[in-house]
C-alpha cells in the first residue's frame, strides 16, 4: 500500500467503524441491562406481593397431594387478577421432587383464567422439561432470582423472576415465578438498534468525507514536496518550493528548501575548491619541474666540483711530495756544508718547481672556490623553491580539510533528509573519500618536502663548510707560496752569503717543517672536501628522485580533482 492518502482513509475509517461499533454495542447493552433491571424489579415486586397472598399450610397440602381443591381455584383467581393488573404474561408456582438421582420440577398453580383451554396453561403436577438456570438456582439457593431478557417463539420476549415460598418458620415449600411481558420493549430495542445503526452509518459516511478532505489537505502538499525532492535527487538544485501556511508540512517544506540552499552553497564551495585545487596542482607540477631542473643543474655542478676536488687532491699530494723533497734538501744542507753550492743550486731548482706547483694549486683552488660559491647560490635557490613547494602543500592540505568538512556537512544534511537523501549521502561519501585521499597525498607531499628541506639544509651547511675549508686551504697555499718565495730568494743569495749559511739553513728547516704540516693539513682537507662533494651529489640524486615522486603525486592529485569535478557536475546550481 504505497498511497499515504489511502492509508489515512483506511486507518481512520477502521478507527471510526470500531469506535461506532463499540459505542453502539455499549448503548444497546446498557439499554438492555437497564430495561431488564427495571422490568425485573417490577416483576419481583409483583411476585413478592403474590407470595404474601399464599397460605403456607394450605399450599403445602396442595403441593403434596396435587389435587385441585377449592384453595387451588382460589389461588388461580388471585394470581389471574394480579397478572392482569400488573401486565404479567405468566404468574405461577412450582415445586420440586427427587426422582432417582435427579430432580424434576412441576407446576402447582398457574395463574391463568379458570376457563383457559388445557393447552394454554400448565395444569397441576405438570413437569417442566425446559429448565432455566435461574429456576434451578432459585430452588438450590432458595433466594430471589431475576433472569435475563429472553425471547423465543413459544413465549415471546420475557423477563422472569423467581421468589421462594417460605412458611412462617422459614421452611422452603416452593417457588413462585412471574414472567413480565417485554415484547413491546424488545421491539423498541430493535427499533432503537436500527436507528443507532443508521446514525452510525451516517456518521461513518460524514466522517469518511471529512477524512478524505483532510487527507487531501495533508497529502497534496506532501506530493508536491515529493516531486520537488525527486528533482533534487536527480541533481537539480535550482528548485524553489512555495511555502504556505504554518502547519507541519509547511515547516517541512521550508526546512527542505533551506537544506537545498545549504546543499547548493556547499556544492558551489566544492566547485570553487576543486578549481583552486586544480590551479594549485598545476602550480605544484610547475614548481616540481623547476625544482627537478634545478636539481639536475646542481647535480652537474656537483659532478664538476667532485672532479675538481679529485684534481685538487692530486695536486695537494704532489705539493706534499715536493715539500717533502725540500725538507730533505734542507736536511742535506745542514748535514753537509761542504757541498753547499751544489745543494743550493738543487734547492733553487726545487724551489722554482715548488713555486710553480704552488701557483698552479692557488689557481686551482680559486676555481674550486668559485665553483663552491656557485653551488652555494644554487642550493640557496633550491631551498627557496622548496619553501614555496611546502607552502603549496600546506594550502593543498587546507583545501582537502575544507573539502572533507564540506563532505561531512553534506552527509549530515543527507542523513537528515532520510530516505530521500540517500543519493546525496553517496555523493557526500565519495567527496569525503576524495578529500581524505587528497589530504593523505598532501601529507605525503609535505613529508617528502620536509625530508627534502632537511637534506637541502644539510647540503647548504656542507657547501658553506666546503667554501670555508677551500678559503682556508687557499690561505694555506698562499702562505706556502710566500714561503717558497722566501726560499727562492734565500737560495739565490746563498752564493754571496755563505757565512750566514748555517743560520739560513736552520730557518729553512723550520719553515720546511711548517710547510710540510700545512701540506698534510691541506691534503686532509682536500680529502674531506672530496667526501663532502660525493655526499652532496648523493643528496642531489635523492632530491631529484623526490621531485619525480612529487610530479607523480601532482598527476594523481589532478586526476582526483577531475573525478571530483565529474561528481559535482551531476548537480545543477545557480551562481
> What are the structural domain ranges in the chain?
4-205, 257-568
User: pLDDT digits over 269-310, tens only?
Assistant: 767 766 777 776 777 677 667 766 766 775 676 567 667 666
Average pLDDT over residues 429-441: 80
Average pLDDT over residues 254-276: 74
The pLDDT > 70 percentage for the chain reads: 74
Distance CA 147, CA 382 (A): 114
Average pLDDT over residues 5-33: 75
Look up residue 553 and give its three cell numbers: 603525486
Q: What is the pLDDT at residue 143?
A: 92
Look up residue 169 and give its three cell numbers: 418458620
Q: What is the pLDDT at residue 165?
A: 94
User: pLDDT digits over 495-540, tens only?
Assistant: 566 566 566 567 756 766 775 676 577 667 667 766 766 776 676 6
Distance CA 26, CA 550 (A): 86
Average pLDDT over residues 91-109: 90
> What residues form DSSP beta bridges with 161?
146, 178
Q: What is the pLDDT at residue 75?
A: 92
Q: What is the pLDDT at residue 344?
A: 65
371 or 327, which is more confident: 371
Average pLDDT over residues 215-242: 76
Q: What is the pLDDT at residue 548?
A: 76
Topology classification of domain 4-205? Beta-Lactamase (3.30.450)
Classify residue 572 by its DSSP letter: B
pTM over 0.85: no
Distance CA 421, CA 419 (A): 5
Q: What is the pLDDT at residue 351?
A: 63
Highest mean pLDDT among 120-124, 272-276, 381-385, 465-469: 120-124
User: pLDDT digits over 112-166, tens only?
Assistant: 898 888 777 889 999 988 888 999 999 999 999 998 877 776 666 788 999 999 9
Site of grid cell 506532501: 222
Please state which of the ranges 47-61, 285-299, 321-335, 392-406 shows the lowest mean pLDDT: 321-335
Reported residue count of the chain is 575
Identify whether the C-beta of residue 432 lies closer than 8 Å to the C-beta of residue 404. yes
Q: What is the pLDDT at residue 501?
A: 58
> What residues form DSSP beta bridges with 256?
none
Q: What is the pLDDT at residue 72?
A: 94
Average pLDDT over residues 97-123: 87
Q: What is the pLDDT at residue 50?
A: 92
Highest mean pLDDT among 93-107, 291-305, 550-564: 93-107
Identify whether the C-beta of residue 322 lies closer than 8 Å to the C-beta of residue 353. yes
Q: What is the pLDDT at residue 491?
A: 63
Average pLDDT over residues 46-52: 92
On average, the pLDDT of the chain sits at 77
379 or 97, which is more confident: 97
Question: DSSP for 403-426?
Answer: HHHHHHHHHHHHHHHGGGGHHHHH
Identify whether the C-beta of residue 350 lies closer than 8 Å to the C-beta of residue 322. yes
pLDDT band at residue 82 under the 50/70/90 scheme: very high
Instruction: Count helices and strands (H / E) in the chain.
Output: 9, 6
Q: What is the pLDDT at residue 174?
A: 94
Taking CB atoms within 8 Å and a gap of at least 24, the contacts of 61-68 are 62/108, 62/109, 62/124, 63/93, 63/95, 63/108, 63/173, 63/174, 66/106, 66/108, 66/124, 66/125, 67/124, 68/124
Please state which of the ranges 8-12, 94-98, 275-279, 410-414 shows the lowest mean pLDDT: 275-279
Instruction: Tell me: pLDDT of 91 over 80.
Output: yes
pLDDT band at residue 49 under the 50/70/90 scheme: very high
pLDDT band at residue 60 under the 50/70/90 scheme: very high
Positive or negative CA dihedral for 386, 389, 393, 395?
positive
Distance CA 234, CA 446 (A): 39
Highest mean pLDDT among 4-18, 135-149, 352-366, 477-491: 135-149
pLDDT band at residue 477 under the 50/70/90 scheme: low
Amino acid at each position: 500500500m504505497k498511497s499515504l492518502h489511502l492509508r489515512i482513509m483506511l486507518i481512520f475509517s477502521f478507527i471510526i467503524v470500531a469506535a461506532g461499533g463499540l459505542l453502539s454495542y455499549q448503548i444497546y447493552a446498557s439499554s438492555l441491562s437497564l430495561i431488564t433491571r427495571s422490568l425485573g424489579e417490577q416483576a419481583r415486586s409483583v411476585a413478592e406481593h403474590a407470595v404474601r397472598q399464599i397460605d403456607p399450610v394450605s399450599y403445602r397440602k396442595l403441593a403434596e397431594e396435587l389435587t385441585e381443591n377449592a384453595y387451588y381455584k382460589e389461588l388461580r383467581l388471585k394470581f389471574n387478577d394480579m397478572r392482569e393488573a400488573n401486565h404479567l404474561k405468566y404468574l405461577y408456582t412450582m415445586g420440586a421432587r427427587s426422582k432417582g438421582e435427579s430432580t424434576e420440577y412441576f407446576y402447582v398453580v398457574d395463574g391463568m383464567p379458570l376457563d383457559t383451554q388445557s393447552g394454554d396453561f400448565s395444569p397441576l403436577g405438570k413437569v417442566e422439561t425446559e429448565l432455566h438456570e435461574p429456576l434451578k438456582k432459585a430452588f438450590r439457593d432458595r433466594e430471589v432470582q431475576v433472569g435475563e431478557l429472553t425471547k423465543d417463539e413459544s413465549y415471546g420476549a420475557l423477563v422472569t423472576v423467581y421468589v421462594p415460598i417460605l412458611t412462617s418458620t422459614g421452611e422452603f415449600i416452593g417457588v413462585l415465578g412471574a414472567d413480565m411481558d417485554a415484547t413491546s420493549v424488545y421491539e423498541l430495542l430493535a427499533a432503537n438498534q436500527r436507528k443507532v445503526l443508521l446514525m452510525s452509518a451516517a456518521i461513518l459516511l460524514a466522517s469518511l468525507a471529512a477524512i478524505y478532505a483532510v487527507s487531501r489537505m495533508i497529502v497534496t502538499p506532501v506530493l508536491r514536496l515529493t516531486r520537488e525532492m525527486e528533482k533534487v535527487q536527480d541533481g537539480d538544485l535550482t528548485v524553489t518550493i512555495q511555502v504556505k501556511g504554518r502547519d507541519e508540512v509547511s515547516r517541512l517544506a521550508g526546512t527542505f528548501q533551506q537544506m537545498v540552499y545549504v546543499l547548493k552553497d556547499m556544492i558551489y564551495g566544492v566547485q570553487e575548491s576543486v578549481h583552486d585545487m586544480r590551479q594549485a596542482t598545476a602550480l605544484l607540477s610547475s614548481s616540481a619541474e623547476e625544482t627537478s631542473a634545478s636539481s639536475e643543474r646542481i647535480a652537474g655542478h656537483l659532478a664538476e666540483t667532485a672532479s675538481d676536488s679529485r684534481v685538487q687532491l692530486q695536486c695537494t699530494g704532489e705539493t706534499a711530495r715536493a715539500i717533502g723533497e725540500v725538507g730533505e734538501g734542507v736536511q742535506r744542507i745542514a748535514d753537509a756544508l761542504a757541498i753547499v753550492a751544489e745543494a743550493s743550486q738543487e734547492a733553487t731548482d726545487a724551489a722554482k718547481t715548488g713555486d710553480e706547483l704552488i701557483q698552479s694549486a692557488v689557481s686551482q683552488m680559486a676555481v674550486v672556490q668559485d665553483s663552491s660559491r656557485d653551488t652555494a647560490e644554487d642550493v640557496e635557490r633550491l631551498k627557496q623553491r622548496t619553501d614555496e613547494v611546502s607552502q603549496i602543500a600546506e594550502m593543498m592540505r587546507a583545501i582537502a580539510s575544507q573539502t572533507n568538512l564540506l563532505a561531512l556537512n553534506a552527509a549530515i544534511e543527507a542523513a537528515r533528509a532520510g530516505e530521500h537523501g540517500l543519493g546525496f549521502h553517496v555523493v557526500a561519501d565519495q567527496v569525503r573519500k576524495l578529500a581524505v585521499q587528497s589530504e593523505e597525498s598532501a601529507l605525503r607531499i609535505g613529508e617528502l618536502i620536509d625530508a627534502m628541506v632537511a637534506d637541502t639544509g644539510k647540503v647548504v651547511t656542507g657547501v658553506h663548510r666546503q667554501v670555508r675549508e677551500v678559503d682556508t686551504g687557499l690561505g694555506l697555499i698562499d702562505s706556502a707560496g710566500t714561503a717558497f718565495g722566501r726560499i727562492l730568494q734565500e737560495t739565490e743569495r746563498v752564493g754571496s752569503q755563505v757565512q750566514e749559511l748555517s743560520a739560513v739553513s736552520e730557518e729553512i728547516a723550520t719553515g720546511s717543517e711548517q710547510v710540510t704540516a700545512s701540506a698534510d693539513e691541506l691534503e686532509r682537507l682536500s680529502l674531506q672536501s672530496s667526501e663532502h662533494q660525493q655526499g652532496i651529489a648523493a643528496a642531489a640524486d635523492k632530491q631529484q628522485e623526490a621531485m619525480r615522486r612529487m610530479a607523480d603525486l601532482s598527476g594523481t592529485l589532478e586526476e582526483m580533482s577531475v573525478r571530483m569535478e565529474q561528481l559535482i557536475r551531476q548537480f545543477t546550481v545557480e551562481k
